[in-house]
Amino acid sequence: MSTKTIAGVEVSVNEEGYMEDASQWTKEIAAEIAKEEGIELNDKHFEVIDFIRNKVAAGDTLTIRGIGKSGVVNAKEFYQLFPGAPLKKATKISGVPKPTSCI
């Protein structure tokens, strides 16, 4: 575990850059992480991020399929919002641990 300054805040991150403490997360931190990932956040991104943070807080497992059936976005939209590796990028930006289903 190491620390990184994101949006002017010292946060604990793991070796892959995922935040270790979700309580340190802010929308400003999310925007800066997203920028590093080549994504500019909009309201739809934040709807997905809120969904992810709530699911993780409830102890639920995250999957692309589950997010696609969430009613927030469908799978195609999810890939468009977070291109490349949507679940990895979305969870990183959301300040939650990388899902175990992600390699």
pLDDT tens digits, residue range 59-81? 999 999 999 999 999 999 999 99
The confidence band for 57, taking pLDDT boundaries of 50, 70 and 90, is very high
- Of the residues 20, 41, 102, 103, which is catalytic? 102
39 within domain boundaries:
yes
84 within domain boundaries:
yes
45-56 pLDDT, tens digit per residue, is: 999 999 999 999
Assess whether 59 carries a catalytic annotation.
no
Which residue segment(s) compose the domain that 80 sits in?
Answer: 2-94
100 within domain boundaries:
no
12 within domain boundaries:
yes
Count of structural domains, the chain = 1
Record the pTM.
0.92
Q: Which residues of 16-55 are buried (b: 16+ CB within 10 A; e: fewer)?
A: eebbeeeeebeeebbbbbbeebebebeeebeebbebbbeb
99 within domain boundaries:
no
